[in-house]
Amino acid sequence: MLLPLLQLLCSPIAGAFFTFFTGPVSRIGGRKLVMILGGAFFCIGAILCAFAQDLAMLIIGRVCLGAGVGFANQVCSAMCGQNLQFAATLMCVVPICILPICCTATTV
């Protein structure tokens, strides 16, 4: 009973946790570094989820997905205000962020 709930909630919890690190990382390396780290975490998480052999590997992948979204989420609002083209690109990326949650929810 607890494992499906953990599997479903680990990505949003990780996203909320990694949001706290966005400010210091952005101060040190700028918004570009935060977006690169967010994309890297998200890609690693997607690969881990795609090739998951067991539940632990799937949960680690979901945590990486949450970290990627947590990093990118804080910077997106500032960048969308500055660049309309980035906002259009973001509208294409958001479904990719939601897709793993939908797929996990259907397999639980």
Which pLDDT tens digit goes with each residue over 1-52? Answer: 556 666 667 777 787 788 788 888 888 988 888 888 888 888 898 899 889 8
Q: Using N-to-C axis directions, what is the helix angle for 2-19 and 55-82, rounded to 10°?
A: 30
Distance CA 35, CA 102 (A): 24
Query: For the ranges 28-32, 66-70, 82-86, which has the lowest average pLDDT?
Result: 82-86
Listed by start position, the domains of the chain span: 8-106
4 is written with which tokens? 């499906």
Statement: residue 66 has pLDDT above 60: yes
Q: What is the pTM of this model?
A: 0.67
**What pLDDT shows up at residue 10?**
72
Q: Residues near 9 by Cβ (< 8 Å), separated by ≥ 6?
A: none
- pLDDT for 35 equals 84
pLDDT at 69: 83
Can you give the pLDDT at residue 2? 59
